[in-house]
């Protein structure tokens, strides 16, 4: 419904839930995903991939494949070495050398699924048949697929030309004197926590359609990407083209989740083929390729410690971890937020975090929804429960006692992250109330008649959304900025076209952007049309990741809408013979505020500006505004989840009976979209917490469950019931007070469910220290066995 407050006498559009602009085309099957792009004379690419985790490529002979009817073009490693630069990284690991990684493996492949040869043919079927005719000789090399084993001195080294170990880089950060605090502490809890390797698994796999017009020197690349302007930059660099010669278009994107950040080998290959052939070339990733050739996510081993006094007050916290980046540093590789918010919502002055970014012979790890935050939340929240048990304190009270308070904020954590505003304890108390924590404590641990034990567990968190300034990024070597950008252009039908480089990947930015423009400008939500993801029409922006879109874009949308509105009012005032200050925009008209019968249709105002006919003498023609906005800092979302489980102590079988999430995403632009984003994140969070895990066989180095049959993604029917509650504390560092909401759901499920299971089984001494939480893992813990 409409909000009570109004903007200049009009009902606000921000804060309401109009029907999504995206729905009509998506529900009718009219979306335009990369595979829907089918230019005339298009050819199809297939890719031969290394079947070994680590192998020297000693011989490539493509002559038999080239002779197959329908085969048009083949690229070998030597072609790629001659015609391209190595792939670039958008967000390097500070201190890491550049790894020589080309679109096709050069000499040595470092992971199963790495592209080795690509073939273009009249159909995908013919191209795949041609792959069978390739004569490629591999000499398997010793491999390492375990992140800790990869750091051992005897481990095979993946990139010996630039590194003499598999430690890509070690980064540390912190403040105070944590070791002194540990020495004087009454209690120390510590543990090793293992986070599973998972993958984002967007419904739309990767894909690219490349078309080269040699006369025009124009490469048009349709791609499924979160960052079309960065794709354009990376492709130009890699293909040695001028940026002006590349146009990237991301129309509908069927899920990004961090995986679709930056250029991947297949993008470069399709372009090279298209340039050589002067015909469009298309590649659509199949699911088997996706499991091995795209990116995986997470996978880290954390040694965490908390020191506390006898009242439970935290004195120090440390997080030393090895994170597995796979065989190559992909564009957004190592999830840096495992360090930035390692202390979560707790007031820690003395703290230390150290990240060891480690290469293994596995599929590269990329960004994934949450970007390091689910990992550390599992570790520090499991330790908070251990600390409560050691001190015989109520885990809710222990959390409340240590949380950064509303009065502390803004507050700087040991890594320099400045938490902006909020009331963390209120979310914790609301969650405890909603799951009847007091009643649970009073009932004790009596089993239910069926023998099952009931437990409740909490996970409190902060989530960094958006990020700091371009100046900060430059110090860390990132090649993108912190701003968002938009162009607004009035049209003669009386509407406003908005052009943005933020691609539309399920986060409903077309809807939310139109709401902000309508709200600020004063016109109707229906009158605003958002055109997304085309570098030819949108101003140079940053892109859709880090839950940052609205944080940054709202400022650009507001500034552009204000500029456009001011000119609209000046022209309308002249047409109405009134003063500009007395004119307001309301729906489809501009009118005199004091006398709404004196009105002019916006279409007439816009037409005057566009044609230059009927303009005030001093006014330039045109009605268009481009604005850029860089937020001053990140905004920290926060909340607490509470899970209730019932566990069978004989078998480890368990059920998540309730899951409450109390969350603050700051000012809500569209309540329905926010709820959808939070629920979507929770679905991926539950998958990673309860069932998803990419497993490698240590002997063969092969991915053993790389298919939808073997990798257990939850369906809607598998998900626990979720109850959502919100608080709405505006952030002081963002336009309108918004915080990001896209990634929050991935953070607390693992910790909350594990804490609930351990609460239920407290009398059995079960301590879960790894994800995913499976009946088998619980049964093993109950039986005192190491988990399989
Ligand atoms: S993991 Mo997100 O797209 O920053």
Please state the ipTM of this predicted complex: 0.96
pLDDT at residue 469 greater than cutoff 90: no
Closest CA to 764 of 775, 774, 777, 778: 778
Q: How far apart are CA 138 and CA 52, in angstroms?
A: 8
Residues 548, 465: contact at Cβ < 8 Å? Answer: yes
Q: What are phi and psi of 606, to 5 degrees?
A: -65, -40
* CATH fold match for the domains 34-141+205-253+260-293 and 297-469+632-782: no
Which atom of ligand 1 lies nearest, measured to the CA of 257? 3
Pick left, alpha or beta for residue 784 (phi over 0 → left; psi -120 to 50 → alpha; otherwise beta).
left
Rounded to the nearest angstrom, the distance between the alpha carbon of 148 and the centre of ligand 1 is 26
Which atom of ligand 1 lies nearest, measured to the CA of 261? 3
Q: What is the mean pLDDT of residues 490-507?
A: 97
pLDDT at residue 104 greater than cutoff 50: yes
Pocket test for ligand 1, best of 332, 365, 509 (most atoms within 8 A of CB): 332
Domain boundaries, the chain: 6-31+483-629, 34-141+205-253+260-293, 297-469+632-782
Rounded to the nearest angstrom, the distance between the alpha carbon of 225 and the centre of ligand 1 is 12
CATH number of the domain located at residue range(s) 297-469+632-782 in this protein: 3.30.365.10
DSSP label of 621: S
Which atom of ligand 1 lies nearest, measured to the CA of 368? 1
Rounded to the nearest angstrom, the distance between the alpha carbon of 368 and the centre of ligand 1 is 5
Rounded to the nearest angstrom, the distance between the alpha carbon of 228 and the centre of ligand 1 is 15
Give the pLDDT confidence of 51-90 residue by residue, as tens digits.
999 999 999 999 999 999 999 999 999 999 999 999 999 9
Q: How far apart are CA 580 and CA 592, in angstroms?
A: 9
Give percent of the chain with pLDDT exceeding 70: 98
Give percent of the chain with pLDDT exceeding 90: 94
CATH architecture of 6-31+483-629: 2-Layer Sandwich (3.30)
Q: How far apart are CA 327 and CA 333, in angstroms?
A: 11
Q: What is the mean pLDDT of residues 251-279?
A: 97
Q: Which residue CA neighbors atom 3 of ligand 1 most closely?
A: 258
- Contact residues for 272 (Cβ-Cβ < 8 A; gap 6+): 75, 79, 80, 83, 84, 103, 239
Q: How far apart are CA 63 and CA 456, in angstroms?
A: 64
Q: What is the mean pLDDT of residues 627-638?
A: 96
Q: What is the mean pLDDT of residues 713-730?
A: 96
- Rounded to an integer, what is the distance from CA 371 to the centroid of its chain? 6
- Contact residues for 441 (Cβ-Cβ < 8 A; gap 6+): 394
Rounded to the nearest angstrom, the distance between the alpha carbon of 198 and the centre of ligand 1 is 14
Which atom of ligand 1 lies nearest, measured to the CA of 370? 1
Pocket test for ligand 1, best of 200, 546, 740 (most atoms within 8 A of CB): 546
The pLDDT assigned to 2 comes to: 39
- Rounded to an integer, what is the distance from CA 423 to the centroid of its chain? 25
Rounded to the nearest angstrom, the distance between the alpha carbon of 452 and the centre of ligand 1 is 39
The pLDDT assigned to 1 comes to: 34
Q: What is the mean pLDDT of residues 347-363?
A: 98
Which atom of ligand 1 lies nearest, measured to the CA of 369? 1
Q: In CATH, which superfamily holds the domain spanning 34-141+205-253+260-293?
A: Aldehyde oxidase/xanthine dehydrogenase, a/b hammerhead (3.90.1170.50)
Mean pLDDT of the chain: 96
Which atom of ligand 1 lies nearest, measured to the CA of 259? 3
Rounded to the nearest angstrom, the distance between the alpha carbon of 622 and the centre of ligand 1 is 37
The pLDDT assigned to 787 comes to: 58
Rounded to the nearest angstrom, the distance between the alpha carbon of 258 and the centre of ligand 1 is 4
The pLDDT assigned to 18 comes to: 97
Q: What is the mean pLDDT of residues 764-784?
A: 95
Closest CA to 260 of 481, 33, 21, 557: 33
CB-defined site of ligand 1, < 6 Å: 226, 258, 261, 367-369, 371, 545-546
CB atoms within 10 A of CB 128: 16
Per the model's pLDDT, the better-predicted residue between 100 and 439 turns out to be 439
Residues 249, 221: contact at Cβ < 8 Å? Answer: yes
pLDDT at residue 47 greater than cutoff 50: yes
Pocket test for ligand 1, best of 369, 463, 467 (most atoms within 8 A of CB): 369
The pLDDT assigned to 5 comes to: 52
Torsion over CA: 538, 539, 542, 544 (sign): negative
| DSSP string over 490-539 | E-TTS-EEEEES--BSSS-HHHHHHHHHHHHH-S-GGGEEEEESBTTTS-
Confidence of residue 161 (pLDDT cuts 50, 70, 90): very high
Rounded to the nearest angstrom, the distance between the alpha carbon of 294 and the centre of ligand 1 is 15
Q: Which residue CA neighbors atom 4 of ligand 1 most closely?
A: 546
Give the pLDDT confidence of 203-237 residue by residue, as tens digits.
999 999 999 999 999 999 999 999 999 999 999 99
Pocket test for ligand 1, best of 334, 367, 505, 509 (most atoms within 8 A of CB): 367
Tokens 């499976």 locate to 774
Rounded to the nearest angstrom, the distance between the alpha carbon of 444 and the centre of ligand 1 is 41
Rounded to the nearest angstrom, the distance between the alpha carbon of 640 and the centre of ligand 1 is 21
Q: How far apart are CA 635 and CA 317, in angstroms?
A: 23
The pLDDT assigned to 662 comes to: 98
Per the model's pLDDT, the better-predicted residue between 666 and 479 turns out to be 666
């Amino acid at each position: 419904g409409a909000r009570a407050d109004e903007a200049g006498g009009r009902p606000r559009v921000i804060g309401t839930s109009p029907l999504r602009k995206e729905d009509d085309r998506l529900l009718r099957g009219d979306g335009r995903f990369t595979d829907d792009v089918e230019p005339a004379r298009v050819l199809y690419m297939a890719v031969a991939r290394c079947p070994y985790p680590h192998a020297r490529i000693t011989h490539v002979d493509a002559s038999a494949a080239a002779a197959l009817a329908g085969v048009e073009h083949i690229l070998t490693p030597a072609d790629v070495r001659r015609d391209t630069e190595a792939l670039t990284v958008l967000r390097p690991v500070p201190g890491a050398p550049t790894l020589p990684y080309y679109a096709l493996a050069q000499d040595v492949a470092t992971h199963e699924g790495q592209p080795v040869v690509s073939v273009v043919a009249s159909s995908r079927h013919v191209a795949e048949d041609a792959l069978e005719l390739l004569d490629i000789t591999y000499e398997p090399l010793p491999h390492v697929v375990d992140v800790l084993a990869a750091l051992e001195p005897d481990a095979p080294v993946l990139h010996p030309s630039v590194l003499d170990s598999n430690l890509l880089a070690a980064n540390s950060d912190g403040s105070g004197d944590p070791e002194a605090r540990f020495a004087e502490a009454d209690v120390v809890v510590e543990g090793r926590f293992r986070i599973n390797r998972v993958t984002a698994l967007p419904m739309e796999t990767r894909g690219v359609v490349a078309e080269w017009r040699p006369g025009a020197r124009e490469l048009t690349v349709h791609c499924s990407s979160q960052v079309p302007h960065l794709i354009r930059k990376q492709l130009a660099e890699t293909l040695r083209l001028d940026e002006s010669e590349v146009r990237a278009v991301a129309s509908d994107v069927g899920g990004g989740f961090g995986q679709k950040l930056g250029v991947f080998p297949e993008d470069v290959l399709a372009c090279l083929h298209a340039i050589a052939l002067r015909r469009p070339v298309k590649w659509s990733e199949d699911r088997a390729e996706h499991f091995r050739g795209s990116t995986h996510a997470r996978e880290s081993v954390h040694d965490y410690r908390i020191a506390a006094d006898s009242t439970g007050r935290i004195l120090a916290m440390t997080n030393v971890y090895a994170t597995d980046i796979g065989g190559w540093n992909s564009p957004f590789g190592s999830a840096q937020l495992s360090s930035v918010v390692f202390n979560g919502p707790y007031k820690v002055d003395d703290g230390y975090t150290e990240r060891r970014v480690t290469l293994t012979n596995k599929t590269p790890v990329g960004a994934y929804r949450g970007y390091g935050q689910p990992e550390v939340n599992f570790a520090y929240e499991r330790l908070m429960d251990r600390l409560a048990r050691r001190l015989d304190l109520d885990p809710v009270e222990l959390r409340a006692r240590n949380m950064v308070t509303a009065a502390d904020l803004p507050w700087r954590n040991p890594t320099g992250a400045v938490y902006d505003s909020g009331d963390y304890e209120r979310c914790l108390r609301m969650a405890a109330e909603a799951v009847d924590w007091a009643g649970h404590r009073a009932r004790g641990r009596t089993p239910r008649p069926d023998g099952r034990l009931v437990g409740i567990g909490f996970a409190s968190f902060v989530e960094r959304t958006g990020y700091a300034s371009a100046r900060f990024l430059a110090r860390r070597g990132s090649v993108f900025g912190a701003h968002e950008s938009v162009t607004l252009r009035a049209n003669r039908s009386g509407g406003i076209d908005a052009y943005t480089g933020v691609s539309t990947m399920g986060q409903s930015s077309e809807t939310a952007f139109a709401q902000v423009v309508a709200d600020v400008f004063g016109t109707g939500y229906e009158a605003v049309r958002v055109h997304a993801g085309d570098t030819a029409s949108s101003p140079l922006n940053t892109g859709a990741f880090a839950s940052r879109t609205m944080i940054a874009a709202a400022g650009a949308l507001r500034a552009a809408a204000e500029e456009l509105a001011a000119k609209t009012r000046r022209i309308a005032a002249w047409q109405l013979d009134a003063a500009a200050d007395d004119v307001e925009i309301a729906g489809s008209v501009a009118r005199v505020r004091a006398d709404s019968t004196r009105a002019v249709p916006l279409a007439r105002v816009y037409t005057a500006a566009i044609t230059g006919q009927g303009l005030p003498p001093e006014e330039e023609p045109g009605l268009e505004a481009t604005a850029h906005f860089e937020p001053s800092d990140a905004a920290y979302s926060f909340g607490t989840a509470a899970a209730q489980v019932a566990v069978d102590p004989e078998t480890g079988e368990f059920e998540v009976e309730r899951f409450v999430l109390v969350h603050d995403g700051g000012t809500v632009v569209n309540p329905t979209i926010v709820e959808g984003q939070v629920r979507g994140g929770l679905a991926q969070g539950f998958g990673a917490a309860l069932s998803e895990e990419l497993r490698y066989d240590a002997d063969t180095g092969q991915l053993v469950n790389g298919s939808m049959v073997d990798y257990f993604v939850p369906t809607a029917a598998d998900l626990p019931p979720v109850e959502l509650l919100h608080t709405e504390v505006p952030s002081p560092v963002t336009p309108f007070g918004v915080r990001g909401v896209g990634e929050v759901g991935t953070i607390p499920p693992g910790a909350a469910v594990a804490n609930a299971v351990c609460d239920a089984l407290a009398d059995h001494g079960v301590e879960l220290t790894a994800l995913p939480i499976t009946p088998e893992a619980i049964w093993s813990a109950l039986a005192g066995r190491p988990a399989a």
